[in-house]
Amino acid sequence: MARRAQPLSPALGVVAALGVAVLILGALAAVFWRAEAGRGLGPADWQAVRFTVVQAALSAGVSVGFALPVARALARRRFPGRAALIALMGAPFILPVIVAVLGLLAVFGRSGWISQGLSLIGLPPLRIYGLHGVVLAHVFFNLPLATRLILQGWQEIPAERFRLAAQLGAGPGAIWRLLEWPMLRRTAPGALAVIFAICLTSFAVALTLGGGPRATTVELAIYQAFRFDFDLARAALLSVLQIVLTGVAAALALRAAMGEGFGVGLDRAIRRWDAQGWVLKGQDGLAIALAALFLLLPLAAIATEGVAGLIALPASVWGAALNSLLIAAGSTAILLLIALPMAVAVALMRHPGWVEGAGLLGMAVSPLVIGTGAFIVIYPVADPAALALPVTALVNALMALPFALRILVPRARAVIGDFGRLALSLNMGRRAFVRLVLWPRMRPQIGFAAGLAAALSMGDLGVIALFADQEVATLPLQIYRLMGAYRMEAAAGAALLLLTLSVLLFWLFDRGGRRHAEA
């Protein structure tokens, strides 16, 4: 069968994917190249692999499982403050780990709010530390992402379908079977894969909430190999293991994600005639309230702790905040330049697996290994400190790439599938198609992806720690420095500043993308 003609070509995206793969695998190769013969993998490593996979699978499963009712409720309901809630719910995802963990423990810890409440009625404190604690924390980080990804799937069902369903008298059950379930089969596996991949490289969260060395992950083993043993071969080998695990998960997810799209609609505001009953309203209200409580309470804890410190922030924190904003802007620009062509390529290609795989690499490879690889490559030709900001922006963009693709690809596929032939028959050129069809129809997704990338880049400690010197620091790095010098109050203030800036940035992009949509 001949290739289907399309107004766009996948060439740019293929080049971008190749570039990403070369950058990341090149960094990994540099680490291997620089390594001396090291220790291979022992039984303790395989135990770490087992724990890593179990916690990542559980975390991904629970995150997506809880995201279903929340996304469904948000898709069916309109209420004042809905947009603000959705934006704020994205916050846990973008917090530096140490801040998020302290916020989480202020609520769920041994002397957290819940335990204090329990002690009032004579009950023992919560036992948060253990595998369930690790999963709880990962769900805290990833439930918002899963919710957004799945909510997006819901919003991509054209309003006409719900209208038709209502005319045919389809109840919630029938709508679930005919519209929602097929949509989920296409969206949920991708969300599972990407969350699984994030949780694979977890380290500080898994260790702290896991309650001890039982909760050793592969990332910790990489850290140890690099810092204490300076065994680069081992660090790189463990990184390859992470790539393999992510690859297997991604392959399984892509295989499971099947089904055709819903076709074209007229972009009417969605109305749901099927969800008017009091029981359903109650159900949805409960799902939204519980999720909001679960996600917002720890954020409230961070905010309360931070207010006092916010007044007396050292000047260096503001400088660091500016650096972080610069990195976030650069990183967002780089991300869009890579992700958009790649999303188009995936939508056009018949076997786009490797392009998606290249996109996942940024998540799969330990930041420490990417950073070290970049350092090894840069050091002979330039001063790494001088390149700290651009390199950090690039690496942050690569790490946000898997999320951006998850957000952009389904929509790009739908737009090209629905309008490609029409555009061809109108003899529409590439530019006109991008300007008149692709851009306006993908704006909400582009805004969401850009917001996520910007916020993620703000909060990530990334590789800056490896490159930074006295002058160049980012806000997360400055928070760690303040904490390392006993200045917990100032650190809490800086964390609140970071939280505010990230949410604001996310909201700006996200809102900008959806300006016309969503009445």
Regarding 120 and contact with another protein (CB under 8 A), the answer is no
Among 227, 255, 435, 515, binds another protein (CB under 8 A): 227
Separation between Cα atoms, residue 258 and residue 187, nearest integer Å: 9
CB-CB contact of 509 with 451 (8 Å): yes
Kindly tell me which of 105 and 253 has the beta carbon lying closer to another protein. Answer: 105
Site for another protein in 301-320 (CB under 8 A): 314-316
Least distance between another protein and beta carbon 402 (Å):
24
Separation between Cα atoms, residue 133 and residue 49, nearest integer Å: 19
Least distance between another protein and beta carbon 227 (Å):
4
Closest CA to 257 of 198, 184, 197, 194: 184
Kindly tell me which of 120 and 279 has the beta carbon lying closer to another protein. Answer: 120
**Which helix or strand (DSSP H or E) is residue 477 part of?**
helix 475-484
Separation between Cα atoms, residue 467 and residue 25, nearest integer Å: 20
DSSP codes, 251-320: HHHHHH-----------PPP--GGG-SHHHHHHHHHHHHHHHHHHHHHHHHHHHHHHHHHHT--HHHHHH
Among 185, 421, 487, 511, binds another protein (CB under 8 A): 487
Regarding 499 and contact with another protein (CB under 8 A), the answer is no
Tokens of 136: 């709880």
Separation between Cα atoms, residue 165 and residue 159, nearest integer Å: 10
Site for another protein in 22-41 (CB under 8 A): 34
Regarding 224 and contact with another protein (CB under 8 A), the answer is yes
Kindly tell me which of 156 and 231 has the beta carbon lying closer to another protein. Answer: 231
Separation between Cα atoms, residue 481 and residue 421, nearest integer Å: 56
Least distance between another protein and beta carbon 324 (Å):
16
Regarding 230 and contact with another protein (CB under 8 A), the answer is yes
Identity (one letter) of the amino acid at 267?
A: D
Least distance between another protein and beta carbon 226 (Å):
6
Kindly tell me which of 279 and 315 has the beta carbon lying closer to another protein. Answer: 315
Separation between Cα atoms, residue 377 and residue 361, nearest integer Å: 19
Among 20, 89, 105, 327, binds another protein (CB under 8 A): 105
Tokens of 98: 């140490």
Regarding 129 and contact with another protein (CB under 8 A), the answer is yes
Separation between Cα atoms, residue 497 and residue 492, nearest integer Å: 9
Regarding 385 and contact with another protein (CB under 8 A), the answer is yes
Separation between Cα atoms, residue 398 and residue 410, nearest integer Å: 20
Question: Which residues have a Cβ under 8 Å from the Cβ of 293 and sit 6 or more positions away?
Answer: none
Regarding 255 and contact with another protein (CB under 8 A), the answer is no
Least distance between another protein and beta carbon 323 (Å):
15
Kindly tell me which of 35 and 342 has the beta carbon lying closer to another protein. Answer: 35
Furthest CA-CA distance within the chain? 75
Separation between Cα atoms, residue 336 and residue 343, nearest integer Å: 10
Regarding 228 and contact with another protein (CB under 8 A), the answer is yes
CB-CB contact of 284 with 72 (8 Å): yes
Question: Which residues have a Cβ under 8 Å from the Cβ of 227 and sit 6 or more positions away?
Answer: none
Separation between Cα atoms, residue 157 and residue 184, nearest integer Å: 11
Tokens of 121: 């009625």
Least distance between another protein and beta carbon 4 (Å):
50
User: How far is the CA of 349 from the CAs of 91, 342, 344, 358, 387, in angstroms?
Assistant: 34, 10, 9, 14, 36
Least distance between another protein and beta carbon 330 (Å):
22
Regarding 426 and contact with another protein (CB under 8 A), the answer is no
Q: Which part of the chain contacts another protein (CB under 8 A), choosing from 71-79, 86-94, 407-415, 479-487?
A: 479-487
Regarding 278 and contact with another protein (CB under 8 A), the answer is no
* Size of interface with another protein, in residues (CB under 8 A): 52
Kindly tell me which of 212 and 277 has the beta carbon lying closer to another protein. Answer: 212
Regarding 203 and contact with another protein (CB under 8 A), the answer is yes
CB-CB contact of 56 with 48 (8 Å): no
Regarding 164 and contact with another protein (CB under 8 A), the answer is no
Tokens of 101: 């963990």
Among 102, 137, 437, 442, binds another protein (CB under 8 A): 102
Among 154, 403, 448, 480, binds another protein (CB under 8 A): 480
Regarding 212 and contact with another protein (CB under 8 A), the answer is yes
DSSP-derived letter for residue 38 is -
Among 202, 323, 372, 396, binds another protein (CB under 8 A): 372
Regarding 468 and contact with another protein (CB under 8 A), the answer is yes
Kindly tell me which of 100 and 409 has the beta carbon lying closer to another protein. Answer: 100
Residues 327-366: x where in contact with another protein by CB under 8 A, - otherwise, as a string: ----------------------------------------
Q: Which part of the chain contacts another protein (CB under 8 A), choosing from 5-13, 276-284, 333-341, 461-469?
A: 461-469
Least distance between another protein and beta carbon 297 (Å):
15
Alpha-helical segments (H) within 312-365:
315-348, 353-364
Regarding 132 and contact with another protein (CB under 8 A), the answer is no
Tokens of 405: 């693709």
Q: Under the rule (CB under 8 A), what is the footprint of another protein?
A: 34, 44, 98, 101-102, 105-106, 109-111, 129, 203-204, 207-214, 220, 223-224, 226-228, 230, 314-316, 372, 375-376, 379-380, 385, 465-466, 468-470, 477, 480-488
